[in-house]
Amino acid sequence: MARNPRYDVLFEPVRIGPVTAPNRFYQVPHASGMTNALPHVRARFRAVKAEGGWGVVCTGAASIHPSSDDSPLPFASLWDDDDVRAHALMTEAVHAHGALAGIELWHGGACTLNRSSRLPPLSPSGMPWLSTHLGFMGNLKPRRMDAADIRELIDWQRAAARRARAAGFDIVYVYAGMGYLPYEFLLPEYNRRTDAYGGSIENRVRLVRELLEATREAVGERCAVALRISLEELRVRPGRNAESEAHEVVALLSDATDLWDVKMDSSPTDCAPSRFTAEGSHEPVIEFVKKLTTKPVVGVGRFTSPDAMASQVRRGVLDLVGGARPSIADPFLPRKIDEGREHEIRECIGCNVCISSWHDGVPVRCTQNPTAGEEWRRDWHPEHVARTADESAVLIVGGGPAGLECALTLARRGYAVTLAEAQAEFGGRLRFESRLPGLATWRRVIDWRLGRLRELDNVTLLPGNALDPQDVLAAGHAHVVIATGARWTRLGYAANEFPGEEITGARVYTPDDVAAGVVPEGPVLVFDFDNYYLGGAIAEALAATVGEVSYATTAGSASAWTFMTNEQPLVHRALARAGVSIHTLVRVARFDGEAATLADVFTGAERTLPCRSLVVVGVREPRDALYRALEERGAEVAAAGISSLLRAGDVLAPGAIVHAVYGGHRAARELRAGALPDAPYRRDFPA
Total Cβ atoms within 10 A of residue 494: 12
**Phi and psi, residue 171, nearest 5°:** -130, 125
- Sequence-distant (≥ 6) Cβ neighbours of residue 602 within 8 angstroms: 585
- Sequence-distant (≥ 6) Cβ neighbours of residue 636 within 8 angstroms: 473
Residue 462 C-beta-side C-alpha neighbours within 13 Å: 14
Cα–Cα distances (Å) from 629 to 623, 675, 687, in that order, read 12, 17, 50
Q: At what angle do helices 657-669 and 401-413 cross, to 10 degrees?
A: 20
Provide the greatest CA pair distance for the chain: 85
**Polymer length of the chain:** 687
Task: Give the residue from 526, 486, 513, 497 showing the smallest Cα distance to 656.
Answer: 486
- Sequence-distant (≥ 6) Cβ neighbours of residue 441 within 8 angstroms: 274, 275, 349, 350
C-alpha span between 333 and 331 (Å, rounded): 6
C-alpha span between 529 and 553 (Å, rounded): 6
The answer to whether residues 586 and 553 touch, using CB atoms and an 8 Å cutoff, is yes
Residue 296, SS3 per DSSP: coil
The residues with which 297 forms a beta bridge, in sequence order, are 260
Residue type, 308: A
C-alpha span between 263 and 269 (Å, rounded): 9
Cα–Cα distances (Å) from 93 to 87, 89, 101, 657, in that order, read 10, 6, 9, 31
Residue 416, SS3 per DSSP: strand
Cα–Cα distances (Å) from 687 to 96, 161, 440, in that order, read 19, 20, 43
Mapping DSSP onto H, E and C, the string for 497-557 reads CCEEEECCCCCEECHHHHHCCCCCCCCEEEEECCCCHHHHHHHHHHHCCCCCEEEEECCCC
The residues with which 172 forms a beta bridge, in sequence order, are 103, 225
Task: Give the residue from 178, 556, 555, 566 showing the smallest Cα distance to 356.
Answer: 566
Q: Using alpha carbons only, give the angle 282, 286, 289 rounded to the nearest 5 degrees.
A: 155
C-alpha span between 580 and 468 (Å, rounded): 42
C-alpha span between 208 and 254 (Å, rounded): 12
- Residues designated as active site: 180
